[in-house]
């Protein structure tokens, strides 16, 4: 699924790299811990977070993520937008809280790239 489809369907506001909305979304990852995203997200994932600082762009670039969606209507810092534009990383904004956005993405067919974590002991 292309980012452009998600932008249109979910009414996301694009803050950077509009030219990269043809990126293919291979799955999704929701976390606010940069180290967690670095260790567990996969290439092509769409990252859902409330973090707005420039370091999110570095992580997304390093992991070759499809894009970043900021939740709760949070606006990225100016430096974040400039860095994301330079790196070609789409940063989008949703007015929804993370829980609702993840549910909407799931209903549109965006899934985790691996069920490995969902089947670890102690998880249902």
C-alpha distances out from residue 101 to 12, 24, 44, 58, Å:
10, 18, 18, 23
Confidence of residue 119 (pLDDT cuts 50, 70, 90): very low
7 falls within a domain: yes
Instruction: Print the domain residue range for 43.
Output: 3-110
d(CA 105, CA 62): 23
Confidence of residue 40 (pLDDT cuts 50, 70, 90): very high
H helix or E strand, kind and range, residue 77: none
119 falls within a domain: no
If one counts the domains in the chain, the total is 1
The enclosing domain of 13 has a CATH number of 3.40.1390.20
81 falls within a domain: yes
116 falls within a domain: no
21 falls within a domain: yes
Q: Please tell me whether the overall predicted TM-score, pTM, comes out greater than 0.75 for this model.
A: yes
DSSP 75: P
19 falls within a domain: yes
């Amino acid at each position: 699924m292309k980012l452009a489809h998600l932008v249109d369907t979910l009414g996301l506001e694009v803050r950077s790299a509009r030219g990269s909305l043809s990126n293919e979304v291979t799955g999704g990852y929701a976390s606010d811990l940069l180290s967690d995203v670095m260790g567990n997200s996969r290439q092509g994932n769409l990252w859902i977070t409330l973090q707005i600082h420039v370091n999110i762009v570095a992580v997304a670039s390093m992991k070759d993520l499809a894009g970043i969606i900021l939740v709760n209507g949070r606006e990225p810092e100016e430096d974040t937008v400039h860095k994301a534009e330079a790196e070609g990383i789409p940063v989008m904004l949703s007015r929804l809280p993370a829980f609702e956005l993840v549910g909407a993405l799931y209903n549109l067919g965006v899934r985790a790239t691996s069920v490995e974590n969902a089947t670890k002991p102690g998880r249902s």
